[in-house]
């Protein structure tokens, strides 16, 4: 490309020209008029950054009339992309353009910075203001010349023998970088098409990772995966803003959404870093103190996000933005150190996490370097940052892969341990069952045969032996059933059972025990001749267990045995209910009712009230039969248990 700086010349004598040149040399460089950039069609697109003059307006007080006066001390840019960092100032820029045979071209000025708040362009032909244009992410898309993801302005170059002067004013709370390009609308569309494809692929990758982590988190409830899911969610929103896609797709007419959502997503990113750090399992004496700090920072992001949501837009400035950026970088370094320690201590997932965190810190540091005006923003900065982000995402996927592998190993080990435990319980219980049965049977025979010969203390001891032996006998039987349910050998024997007849048999079996306690047994069968496919003996065991509990905890009143046809899991089914008027259950006990060895605490009961395994066995057995159990209970008012089963079993 040939750049032709042309200074104003005179047809005076050579002596006068010499004096004029000397005078210009003696003037401050800042007062020299801007060089004219002459452009031809084959030079497009042209980066205008190195040819811009700029002026800082700290109080944002200057008007366009003042900027066109001779008193302004312009400074020539020394950067390909003028990078002025984050400040409260307004920055003015100026350039003079001329061209040959360019009047018929559809020229545009493209500012490749989607997060500029406001840029006001003033176009002059010679010294006459001919047009103004305002762009930026605070301007509704409907008011723009071109609805692009980046600011694009229509530009008409002056006729020959004239020059076009452009003066524009830029303000932004998120930093001022001016990657200004002169091109045509067709060349711009072609270049943006490639960028959109790349950004679309990266966005799809983020969304894929977000969906995967959300699904895994919902199943595992693992805090590390929750932190990574929050990272992908916040990162997706931040990416949409930084690329300008979010504004075009979701909030085109909003004047403040870009800035607000950008900062709120930044708080989400910081919170995700804190959650990941807290989830790391490593041994260090400072771990508890670090976790306290990370927990504080996690919760402090909530009020900070609310602050960014409600603060008046005109109060946004670098003072609001810099703290969250610095905190994010410090937290990222802290988590990197924690992940490194965890990796050294043998965690494979932490090794991939260290790699991803290094890449994230590199991408973030590159972003901050030109935001804080440490280095000039390069044309390739966005591509480098996105490439680092892709590499970091791949590493995080490997973290999740390693996490899934480790959880799979844990599940296999747990199943092996469960099977070993079940076999152990089964074998040990069988060994205990015979002597306990002998003790119980002989104690009962002794009491029956020699009751009259035993004194009262001996009778009390024998009664205690019988009660405790009976309790131990029931416990061993329950343990045997638990071991059978947890083993792979449990196979229900399904058959068709007529429900009314079956429940009549249950009623006849339990009536003596109910009448012995002075209770009434009521029935309510909604229909007859209804058949259910189930394991008869095991369903009988379930109902007898629940009715026995109802008898045990009901001192007066009645027990209701009922059933009706229902829709169960989108199929025909039945609901068998057992309702009593007993003592009910406390709300605390209801929360742990189906936990192993859970029993209602009652200081008035000295004798053991069951093993705490009966309802656990009932629930697991029902699940193996394809059903479920629910309950309703109110203390001192009674309880109701509902057993639901499908009429037919559908085998996978």
Q: What integer is the mean pLDDT of 240-253?
A: 89
Q: Where are the alpha helices (DSSP H) in 35-147?
A: 64-67
Q: What is the pLDDT of residue 424?
A: 67
Long-range contact list for 365-371, CB < 8 A, 24+ apart? 365/329, 368/325, 368/329, 370/83, 370/85, 370/175, 370/177, 371/85, 371/86, 371/174, 371/175, 371/325
Cα 202–339–239 angle (5° rounding)? 20
State yes or no: pLDDT of 606 exceeds 60: no
Instruction: Tell which of 425, 451, 486 closes a domain.
Output: 486
Phi, psi values for residue 87, rounded to 5°: -155, 170
Is there a domain that residue 7 lies in?
no
pLDDT digits (tens, 9 = 90+) for 394-410: 877 787 777 777 777 77
Same domain, 500 and 640: yes
Percentage of the chain surpassing pLDDT 90? Answer: 16
Confidence of residue 287 (pLDDT cuts 50, 70, 90): confident
Same domain, 320 and 429: no
Token pair recorded at residue 122: 């003033």
Same domain, 539 and 630: yes
Same domain, 136 and 36: yes
Is there a domain that residue 46 lies in?
yes
Same domain, 317 and 353: yes
Is there a domain that residue 315 lies in?
yes
Same domain, 127 and 169: yes
Q: What is the pLDDT of residue 6?
A: 34
The answer to whether 107 and 183 are in contact (CB under 8 A) is: yes
Report the CATH number that the domain containing residue 77 is assigned in CATH.
Answer: 2.60.40.2380
Confidence of residue 578 (pLDDT cuts 50, 70, 90): very high
Same domain, 406 and 427: no
Cα 378–379–382 angle (5° rounding)? 90
Q: What integer is the mean pLDDT of 486-491?
A: 68
Phi, psi values for residue 392, rounded to 5°: -65, -40
Is there a domain that residue 433 lies in?
yes
The conformation of residue 314, written as its DSSP 8-state character, comes to G
Instruction: Tell which of 453, 468, 486 closes a domain.
Output: 486
Q: Where are the alpha helices (DSSP H) in 536-605?
A: 536-552, 587-591
Same domain, 178 and 222: no
Spatial distance between the Cα atoms of 77 and 577, rounded to a whole number of angstroms: 84
User: Who wins on pLDDT, 290 or 401?
Assistant: 290
The residue segments making up the domain with residue 341 are 189-413
* Start-to-end Cα distance in the chain: 72
Q: Strand, helix or coil at 175? A: coil
Same domain, 179 and 269: no
Is there a domain that residue 363 lies in?
yes
pLDDT digits (tens, 9 = 90+) for 297-322: 999 999 999 999 999 988 888 788 88
Instruction: Tell which of 442, 468, 486 closes a domain.
Output: 486
pLDDT digits (tens, 9 = 90+) for 202-221: 888 889 888 988 988 888 88
Is there a domain that residue 520 lies in?
yes
Report the CATH number that the domain containing residue 343 is assigned in CATH.
Answer: 1.20.1070.10
Phi, psi values for residue 428, rounded to 5°: -65, -40
Is there a domain that residue 288 lies in?
yes
Same domain, 69 and 204: no
Q: What is the pLDDT of residue 419?
A: 67
Average pLDDT, the chain: 81
Q: What is the pLDDT of residue 486?
A: 67
Cα maximum dimension of the chain: 150
Is there a domain that residue 346 lies in?
yes
Token pair recorded at residue 535: 């394991």
Q: What is the pLDDT of residue 18?
A: 38
User: Who wins on pLDDT, 75 or 443?
Assistant: 75
Can you state the angle between helices 257-279 and 318-344, rounded to 10 degrees? 20
pLDDT digits (tens, 9 = 90+) for 52-71: 999 999 988 899 988 888 88
Cα 450–453–455 angle (5° rounding)? 115
The answer to whether 532 and 574 are in contact (CB under 8 A) is: yes
Q: What is the pTM of this model?
A: 0.63
Report the CATH number that the domain containing residue 604 is assigned in CATH.
Answer: 3.30.565.10
Token pair recorded at residue 469: 């032996």
Same domain, 242 and 121: no
Does the CA dihedral 550-554-559-563 come out positive or negative?
negative
Q: What is the pLDDT of residue 16?
A: 39
Phi, psi values for residue 421, rounded to 5°: -65, -45
Q: What is the pLDDT of residue 91?
A: 92
46-47 vs 180-184, strand pairing mode: antiparallel
Spatial distance between the Cα atoms of 531 and 552, rounded to a whole number of angstroms: 30
Domain count, the chain: 4
Q: What is the pLDDT of residue 373?
A: 76
Same domain, 402 and 454: no
Phi, psi values for residue 35, rounded to 5°: -70, 145
The answer to whether 538 and 492 are in contact (CB under 8 A) is: yes
Q: What is the pLDDT of residue 170?
A: 92
């Amino acid at each position: 490309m040939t750049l032709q700086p042309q200074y104003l010349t005179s047809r005076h004598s050579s002596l006068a020209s010499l004096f004029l040149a000397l005078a210009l040399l003696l003037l401050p460089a800042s007062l020299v008029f801007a060089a004219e950039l002459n452009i031809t069609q084959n030079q497009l697109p042209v980066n205008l950054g190195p040819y811009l003059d700029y002026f800082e307006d700290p109080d944002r007080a200057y008007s366009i009339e003042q900027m066109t006066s001779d008193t302004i001390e312009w400074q020539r840019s020394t950067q390909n992309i003028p990078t002025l960092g984050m400040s409260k100032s307004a920055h003015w820029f100026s350039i003079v353009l001329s061209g040959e045979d360019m009047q018929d071209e559809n020229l545009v000025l493209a500012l490749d910075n989607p997060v500029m708040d406001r840029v006001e362009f003033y176009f002059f032909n010679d010294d006459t203001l001919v047009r103004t244009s305002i762009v930026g992410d605070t301007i509704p898309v409907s008011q723009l010349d071109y609805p692009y993801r980046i600011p694009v302005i229509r530009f008409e170059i002056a006729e020959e023998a004239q020059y076009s002067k452009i003066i524009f004013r830029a303000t932004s709370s998120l930093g001022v970088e001016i990657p200004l390009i002169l091109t045509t609308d067709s060349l711009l569309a072609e270049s943006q098409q490639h960028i959109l494809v790349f950004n679309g692929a990266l966005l799809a990758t983020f969304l894929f990772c977000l969906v995967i982590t959300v699904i895994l988190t919902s199943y595992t409830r693992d805090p590390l995966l929750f932190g990574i899911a929050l990272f992908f969610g916040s990162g997706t929103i931040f990416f949409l803003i930084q690329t300008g896609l979010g504004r075009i797709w979701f909030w085109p007419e909003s004047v403040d959404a870009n800035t607000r959502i950008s900062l709120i997503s930044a708080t989400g990113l910081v919170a995700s870093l804190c959650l990941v750090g807290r989830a790391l399992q490593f041994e260090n004496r400072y771990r508890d103190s670090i976790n306290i700090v990370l927990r504080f920072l996690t919760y402090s992001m909530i009020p900070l996000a609310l602050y960014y949501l409600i603060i008046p837009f005109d109060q946004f400035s670098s003072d609001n933005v810099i703290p969250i950026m610095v905190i994010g970088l410090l937290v990222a370094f802290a988590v990197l150190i924690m992940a490194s320690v965890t990796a050294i201590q043998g965690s494979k997932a932490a090794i991939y996490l260290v790699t991803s965190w290094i890449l994230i810190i590199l991408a973030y540091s590159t972003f901050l370097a030109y935001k804080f005006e440490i280095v000039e923003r390069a044309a390739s900065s966005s591509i480098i940052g996105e490439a680092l982000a892709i590499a970091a995402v791949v590493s995080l996927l490997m973290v999740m892969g390693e996490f899934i592998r480790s959880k799979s190993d844990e599940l296999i080990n747990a199943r092996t341990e469960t099977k070993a435990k079940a076999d152990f319980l089964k074998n040990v219980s069988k060994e205990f069952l015979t002597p306990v049965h002998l003790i119980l049977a002989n104690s009962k025979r002794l009491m029956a045969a020699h009751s009259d010969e035993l004194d009262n203390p001996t009778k009390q001891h024998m009664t205690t032996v019988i009660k405790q032996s009976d309790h131990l006998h029931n416990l061993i039987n329950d343990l045997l059933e638990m071991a059978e349910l947890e083993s792979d050998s449990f196979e229900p024997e399904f058959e068709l059972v007529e429900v009314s007849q079956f429940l009549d048999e249950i009623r006849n079996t339990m009536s003596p025990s109910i009448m012995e306690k002075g209770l009434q047994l009521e029935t309510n069968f909604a229909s007859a001749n209804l058949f259910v496919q189930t394991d008869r003996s095991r369903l009988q065991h379930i109902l007898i267990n629940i009715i026995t509990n109802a008898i045990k905890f009901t001192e007066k009143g009645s027990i209701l045995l009922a059933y009706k046809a229902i829709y169960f899991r989108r199929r025909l089914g039945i609901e068998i209910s057992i309702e009593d008027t007993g003592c009910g259950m406390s709300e605390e006990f209801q929360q742990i009712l189906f936990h192993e060895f859970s029993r209602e605490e009652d200081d008035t009961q000295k004798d053991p009230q069951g093993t705490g395994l009966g309802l656990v066995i009932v629930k697991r057995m029902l699940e193996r039969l394809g059903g479920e159990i629910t309950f309703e209970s109110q203390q001192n008012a009674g309880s109701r248990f509902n057993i639901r089963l499908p009429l037919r079993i559908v085998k996978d």
